[in-house]
Structure 1
Amino acid sequence: MNKSIILVGYMCVGKTTIGRDLAKLMNRTFYDLDWYIEERYHTKVSQIFAEKGEAHFRDLERRMLHEVAEFENVVLSCGGGTPCFFDNIDYMNQVGEVFYLKASPETILQHLSMSRGERPLLKDKTPEQLQQFVTEQLAQREPFYSKARHIVDVNVLDSFDKIKFVTQDIANAIG
């Protein structure tokens, strides 16, 4: 069985973009865990958060992680918080090759400013509040992210060529 390739890291670091490219390059199926949850439950993640709360979502997320990670030949992009709850990061390391896509708060804020997706946790924040929130949350999550077997610096992702380069690096690390 081929182990899953699992991408973790903060929001807007390129997990979905790199994951899609990596799956294509390695002839694997790509899954984004948030999208998988939305498809299975016919509800947006933001709506689950709003209606049932974060604790309910995190339990659901853990169960769906266990489901998808058992599939063969997959590349899985996880939500930014996924590795930080329950024993998720330890489980990921057991069933897959885990890559932490690491970026500085400055890079994340730059990517967020270009992002078209709605991010419920960031809504209605001033630029100063946003910077403080990202910096603090990244610091809280870093110990979990750092448990990944592989750490990839994605601060350089400012062009499609560099994304392809990082994707190829990850594929080479798998072998």
Structure 2
Amino acid sequence: MADNTTDPAVRPNLYLTGFMGTGKSSIGRELSRTLKYRFIDSDRWIEKDVGMKIPQIFAEKGEAWFRECEKRFIQEGHPAEGCVVACGGGLVVPEGMIELVESRGVLVALFASVKTVLDRTSRNKNRPLLAVEDPEARIRELMAKRDPIYRKVDLAVSTDGRSFADVRDAVLRIYRAHCSGTPVSKEH
């Protein structure tokens, strides 16, 4: 798909949010190549910044400290434009974070079912919130808390039952429409 954003001089950041396993990083990498933007994964940035892996941060510093790192990342940890940012799954959960991210660029929420998330995350050991006896129950519990927050995001795409290319193209259409001032519907 050719990049024909209306004004090439205006390159607002594109932020992807949503629950873990919804495709933020993989879709984000592809979108950054398509748009010729820099790709940044907020979790990887934080790991590099503090010199610790996410599970170690949670174990030694706690989730609240990690959420402060995420806020600092959004406020000052990356360029103001020309980036596709894959946000950690809990980044927009604290009060005011959706508005903060939206003030920095275009925010799109990705959604997936519990089954899809479980399938996508089952082999990844870098998920401290799923390091429990029953990951599916934990996913259901976290989704019940977070889903209403993600639904506050104006722009959203479901990733269930869709090809990688279809999701990428849907997000790209939303981003370009938003940048050009064209009204965009809530779900795609």
Q: TM-score, normalised by structure 2?
A: 0.82
Change (3 A) 1:50 1:63: same
Output the CA distance in 2 between the equivalents of 1:7 and 1:85.
Answer: 16
Q: Which residue of 77, 92, 110 maps to 1:101? A: 110
Output the CA distance in 1 between the equivalents of 2:154 and 2:132.
Answer: 36
**Residue deviations 1:74-101 (CA, integer Å, cap 9, x gap):** 0000111111014111111222111111
Partner amino acid, structure 2, of 1:20: R
Partner amino acid, structure 2, of 1:91: L
Q: Which residue of 16, 21, 34 maps to 2:25? A: 16
Q: SS of 1:43's equivalent?
A: coil
Output the CA distance in 1 between the equivalents of 2:89 and 2:37.
Answer: 22
Output the CA distance in 2 between the equivalents of 1:22 and 1:117.
Answer: 26
- Given that 1:8 and 1:83 are in contact with CA atoms closer than 8 Å, whether structure 2 keeps it comes out as yes
Using the TM superposition, give the Cα deviation of residue 116 of structure 1 relative to its aligned residue in structure 2, in angstroms: 3.3
Structure 1 residue ranges without an equivalent (≥5): none
Partner amino acid, structure 2, of 1:42: G
- Given that 1:70 and 1:95 are in contact with CA atoms closer than 8 Å, whether structure 2 keeps it comes out as no
Q: Which residue of 48, 57, 81 maps to 1:39? A: 48
Q: TM-score, normalised by structure 1?
A: 0.88
Using the TM superposition, give the Cα deviation of residue 117 of structure 1 relative to its aligned residue in structure 2, in angstroms: 4.1
- Given that 1:4 and 1:69 are in contact with CA atoms closer than 8 Å, whether structure 2 keeps it comes out as no
Matched, 1:76 2:85: yes
Output the CA distance in 2 between the equivalents of 1:3 and 1:149.
Answer: 16
Structure 2 match to 1:173: 174
Q: SS of 1:84's equivalent?
A: coil
Q: SS of 2:85's equivalent?
A: strand
Output the CA distance in 2 between the equivalents of 1:13 and 1:117.
Answer: 16
Matched, 1:156 2:165: no
Using the TM superposition, give the Cα deviation of residue 69 of structure 1 relative to its aligned residue in structure 2, in angstroms: 5.6
Partner amino acid, structure 2, of 1:165: D
Structure 2 residue ranges without an equivalent (≥5): 1-9, 177-188
- Given that 2:54 and 2:128 are in contact with CA atoms closer than 8 Å, whether structure 1 keeps it comes out as no
Structure 1 match to 2:182: none
Structure 2 match to 1:134: 139
- Given that 1:21 and 1:164 are in contact with CA atoms closer than 8 Å, whether structure 2 keeps it comes out as no
Matched, 1:30 2:39: yes
Using the TM superposition, give the Cα deviation of residue 31 of structure 1 relative to its aligned residue in structure 2, in angstroms: 0.3
Partner amino acid, structure 1, of 2:21: C
Change (3 A) 1:29 1:20: same
**Residue deviations 1:20-68 (CA, integer Å, cap 9, x gap):** 0000001100000000111112211221111111111111111112224
Q: SS of 1:80's equivalent?
A: coil
Output the CA distance in 2 between the equivalents of 1:44 and 1:148.
Answer: 28
How high is the sequence identity, in percent, across the aligned residues? 33
Q: What value does the CA root-mean-square deviation take over the aligned residues?
A: 1.6
Moved over 4 A (4+): none
